[in-house]
Structures are given as structure tokens and as C-alpha cells.
Amino acid sequence: MSLTLQSPPFSALSSSLQQGRSRFLPGAGSTASNLVVFNNVRKSFPLIRASSSSLDTGSNTELDAVSSFSEIVPDTVIFDDFERFPPTAATVSSSLLLGICSLPDTVFRNAVEMALADSTCYGLENADLRLSCFVNKALVNVGGDLAKLVPGRVSTEVDPRLAYDTHGIIRKVHDLLKLYNEINVPPERLLFKIPSTWQGIEASRLLESEGIQTHLTFVYSFAQAAAAAQAGASVIQIFVGRLRDWARNHSGDPEIEAAISRGEDPGLALVTKAYNYIHKYGHKSKLMAAAVRNKQDLFSLLGVDYIIAPLKVLQSLKDSVTAPDEKYSFVRRLSPQSAALYNFSKEELVKWDQLSLASAMGPATVDLLAGGLEGYVNQAKRVEELFGKIWPPPNV
């Protein structure tokens, strides 16, 4: 990893953005963590190891036990947590760039500064195109550095302002992929994070047909999950806690009210239904449960491909020792066998298109998708504003 440069423009701005020398948090309206794991070879790259004390006693932690069912992902945006909960892959986003720029000593600073000194971007006369070029280069430079540090895939956020522009998304992904190719990061190490609008889902379908791996986010309904699976998205991300939060403060969403009437949590119910659909009908997608709030949520999701868990939950699991005979008391809740027994209605088994998806998206999905996109757009604008202030860097 190259050493960071200490430039006056970054130093001057870091005080206004600073959240602490070892910590940075997403900006207002943030909708996802910066670091997530997409590790396909769990046994080769164990995400978190048991503490030495549990190994010495012949016991395992609860974290060891649950990790045998699902890939447990630390939900962290704190560099100092890498040693405690080391990621095996990462997501590069606007909020990550903001965090890097707020820190005077992060190893990723040089990647951003090199992007701002890029001669190709520097030569663009149009200011908007120049800023877009700088952001693309910064995302890819940071992604390239992360690819050297982690064994898994690096997911790169696609500009959320393109969420309703299929061809714009595809062009952006092609541009990013070209930049990654220039720094020798192969396509199999990459994912591209796209909002689950119809246009985003269609872009995912077309990109996957080219062999480009996509990560569809902001999934809040079965219709979105099923359409994403039909599109062949590599990773589908559902936000458990956000659906629960919406249900506590709103009403009138048929899908949520149906889950509640069955005595089920709407977020957990959606993950279960999506998982069963993917596995019963042979779709290739991997399912990620995000916004998991507590241990009970995590226990209820065992068997799903990935679970993004808060650090406080992971620490509690890591600190809880289980005797060898107790680890078998953890039950896999989701499995291909149980999925085969799940019954879907005719309406749920349609070939989803733009009209049917729009008709099936209830008020919860509409509200949460709009809120998530607004947060992402605000962060993207903040990055551009910041880059506009600190460009050109020294010696350019």
C-alpha cells in the first residue's frame, strides 16, 4: 500500500469533516454501511475467529456457531475495527470517500489525491465532466487498494442519480470497469451496486448477461426481490430493520400487514420469502440480510447467504461462549430443503415487468426506496462539492 500524501487542501478541509481520527460515519441520509462482505469461499477465508480463551477451553463462541450457517458480515465504517472484525471484501461508496477525506492519516488518502491529479480528468474542459471523472477515478483507486487488502469482491456504488436510467447505469458500469481494468483488477473481483428500481433491475439483467456481476440494493418488497432474481443479480440486499421501522410508524402496506397478521416480522418474513423463491426456482442470486438490529434477528435468519450485523451484536456473540454440546442448539432457519416446501401464489410467480413491479410496490417500498436514493444522492453531491473545493491538488 502506498504512503499517504499530506496536502494542505485535505488538511484544511478535514477539520470541517472530521468525525475522529480513527472513525468516520456516513453523512446525513446515509442508507448503507461502507464495508460489507461478499465472500464465496467461507471455509477458506473465515471472517471472524474465536477468541483464544474459547479455544483454550475447548468451547466455541456463539459467533462460531452462527457462522457455520451464514456468512456473518461486520457492519462497520471504522478503520480501527479491521483487526477485531476483518472484512474479506468491501464496498466503495460516496460516503466512504467522504470519510477518507475527513481523515488526515488514512492509507486510502493517496488513492483520492492521485485521482484528483489524473491527467485525463484534468484535461476535460467541462467542469461537470471533470468532476465526474475525478469521482470515478477516486472510487476505482480506493477500490483497487481495497482489492489488495481483501480476498473477496469489491462492490462499487453506481451513481444513484442514474437510478431511473438503465442505459446510464450500464454506461457508468462500463466506465468503472474500464478504469478497474487499467489498474489490473479483474472483473471476477468486482460487483457493482445498483438501486432496485425497475431500470436498475433491467440494467442488472443486461450487465449480468455480459458477465458483469451486480449487487442490487434497496429491496423492500417481494416483487423487487423476485424481479432481481429473475434478472440474475449476483447479490440481492434486503433491509430487515428498516421495514420494521416503517411498520411501527405507518400502515396501509398490504405486504407488511399480511406478515403482521401471520404474527411475523415484516423484514424477516421478506428475507425468508425471497430466500425460498431463489432456492425453490433455481436462481443464482445470493441473498444478503442488512439492517439486522439484534441477536434474535440474526438467529431468525440463519441459513441466509449473508447477514450484515452491527458490531455490538457481533461483540456479544463473540463474548458468549457455548459448550461443544450447546452449539448444536442453533437451528438453521433457511435451507434449500425448506424452500422446496414453500408455496407461492400464481400472482407471485409471474414474469415480472415494469408494470407488474410498479403495481406490486406498496407504500413502504415507495417511501423507503425514495428515502434511500435521496440519502445516496446527497452523499454523491457532497463528494463533488468537496472535490470542487480541493481541486487542483498541490503540484498539479
CA dihedral 273, 278, 282, 285 (to 10 degrees): -170
389 is catalytic: no
| Burial (CB count <10 Å: 0-12, 13-18, 19+), residue 100 | buried
Q: Is 340 helix (H, G, I), strand (E, B) or coil?
A: helix
Using the Cα atoms of residue 187, residue 188, residue 189 and residue 192 in order, give the sign of their dihedral.
positive
Return the number of other C-beta atoms located less than 10 Å from residue 379's C-beta.
Answer: 24
Unique residue bearing C-alpha cell 478535514: 14
The whole-angstrom separation of Cα 22 and Cα 359 is: 46
At position 241, the amino acid (one-letter code) is G
- Of the candidates 254, 375, 307, 343, the one whose C-alpha atom is nearest the C-alpha of residue 72 is 307
The one catalytic residue in 137, 193, 286, 318 is 193
CA distances in angstroms from 286 to 233, 236, 248, 255, 311, listed in the order given: 8, 6, 28, 22, 23
CA dihedral 368, 370, 376, 377 (to 10 degrees): -170
Please answer whether residues 197 and 368 qualify as being in contact, where contact means their C-beta atoms are separated by less than 8 angstroms: no
Contacts of range 117-122, beta carbons closer than 8 Å, 24 or more positions apart = 117/392, 117/393, 117/395, 117/396, 122/392, 122/396
Residue 31: φ, ψ to 5°: -125, 0
Cell of 244: 420494521
Unique residue bearing C-alpha cell 456504488: 157
Question: End-to-end CA distance of the chain, in Å?
Answer: 23
Residues labelled as active-site residues? 193
